[in-house]
Amino acid sequence: GESVGLHLPTLSVQEGDNSIINCAYSNSASDYFIWYKQESGKGPQFIIDIRSNMDKRQGQRVTVLLNKTVKHLSLQIAATQPGDSAVYFCAENAGNTPLVFGKGTRLSVIA
């Protein structure tokens, strides 16, 4: 498959453990945040989003936490599975402006 990032930060976790992927953003005006998952050879796939009036949002096995004070976003994946292995991107925007993507983190699940 294609490599979407040769020198990305990598997080290795044991199957069944929880994963936490972090993202720092720089624009204090950003009010909308999204996490995307990109598997090899595929386009990014939406995981979960959160708006700035919230600090936590939960989905199926995933939780996004937003700390506006320190401009930090995290994605927590519960009971990580081999199928979760991918590159994860955070993205942000302010108002109706283009999404700005972070550099990504590669998650590797050890079976």
Partner 1 sequence: KAGVTQTPRYLIKTRGQQVTLSCSPISGHRSVSWYQQTPGQGLQFLFEYFSETQRNKGNFPGRFSGRQFSNSRSEMNVSTLELGDSALYLCASSLSGWTGELFFGEGSRLTVL
The reply to whether 66 sits near partner 1 by the rule CB under 8 A is: no
Helix, coil or strand: residue 78: coil
Exposure on the CB side of residue 29, measured as CA atoms within 13 A = 7
The reply to whether 104 sits near partner 1 by the rule CB under 8 A is: yes
Phi-psi region at 71: left, alpha or beta (left = phi > 0; alpha = psi -120 to 50): left
Smallest separation, CB 111 to partner 1 (Å): 26
Q: Which of 26, 53, 69, 98 binds partner 1 (CB under 8 A)?
A: 98
* Residue closer to partner 1 (CB basis): 1 or 83: 1
The reply to whether 83 sits near partner 1 by the rule CB under 8 A is: no
Binding site for partner 1 (CB under 8 A): 2-7, 32, 34, 36, 41-46, 49, 89, 91, 93, 95-104
